[in-house]
């Protein structure tokens, strides 16, 4: 099913206007195949779909989120206990969107620099439930990403410098 999963998933993503390309991974990554995927529209979100060599019975939807320098500066102003509360709150929001997702904080909860979302999908599920099920899982992963981003923006509302110039106050 591994090759079949690659073909089906590639076809479904293209049909839904995602941009895909074969993931170029080094041999130490130990993957059978991977896709580098970009969502349609703006802002485009990049995620990966990977078939791991050590678990060929599944594909992984993987999305990494680097914490922006602005949000890191705001986090660094907090005591460790406050950082832990913020990150725990954001993780709670993300897990309420996707209880099946494996979400990790790198390198740790007190010094967060990046988060990753991983959702495993077995080949049997792809064969049994098809495109609608797969696309719902992609949407769930993306919604988890947006829950994390909105959590950071809720705690630390930072308007990017290039956007500030475009916002005109009302007279």
In a domain, 165, yes or no: no
pLDDT of residue 163: 58
pLDDT in tens, 15-31: 999 999 999 888 898 99
Is residue 168 scored above 70 in pLDDT?
no
pLDDT in tens, 112-142: 999 999 999 999 999 999 999 999 999 999 9
Place of tokens 């110039």: 165
Tell me if the pTM is above 0.85.
yes
DSSP string across 120-151: EEEHHHHHHHHHHHHHHHHHHHHHHHHHHHHH
pLDDT of residue 26: 87
CB 32 within 8 A of CB 2: yes
CB 65 within 8 A of CB 57: no
Is residue 170 scored above 70 in pLDDT?
no
Place of tokens 């993503």: 13
Question: How big is the chain by its Cα radius of gyration, in Å?
Answer: 18
In a domain, 164, yes or no: no
In a domain, 168, yes or no: no
Structural domain span for residue 89? 2-158
pLDDT of residue 171: 46
pLDDT of residue 74: 93
The rounded percent of the chain whose pLDDT value lies above 90 is: 84
CB 22 within 8 A of CB 43: no
Give the up-direction half-sphere exposure of residue 134: CA atoms within 13 A in the CB hemisphere. 25
Q: Across residues 32-44, what is the average pLDDT?
A: 93
The number of folded domains in the chain is: 1
- Tell me, what CATH number does 75's domain have? 3.30.1460.10
pLDDT of residue 43: 83
Q: Which of 127, 1, 141 is nearest to 63 (CA)?
A: 141
């Amino acid at each position: 099913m591994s090759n079949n999963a690659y073909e089906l998933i590639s076809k479904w993503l293209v049909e839904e206007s995602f941009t895909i390309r074969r993931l170029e991974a080094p041999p130490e990554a130990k993957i059978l195949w991977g896709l580098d995927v970009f969502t349609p529209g703006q802002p485009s979100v990049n995620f990966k779909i990977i078939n791991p060599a050590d678990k060929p019975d599944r594909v992984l939807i993987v999305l990494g989120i680097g914490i922006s320098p602005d949000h890191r500066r705001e986090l660094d102003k907090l005591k460790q206990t406050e950082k832990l509360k913020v990150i725990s709150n954001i993780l709670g929001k993300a897990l309420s969107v996707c209880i099946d997702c494996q979400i990790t904080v790198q390198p740790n909860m007190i010094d967060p620099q990046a988060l990753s979302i991983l959702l495993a999908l077995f080949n049997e599920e792809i064969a049994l439930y098809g495109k609608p099920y797969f696309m719902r899982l992609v949407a769930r992963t993306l919604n988890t990403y947006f829950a994390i981003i909105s959590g950071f923006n809720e705690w630390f509302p930072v308007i990017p410098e290039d956007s500030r110039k475009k916002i005109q106050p009302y007279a």
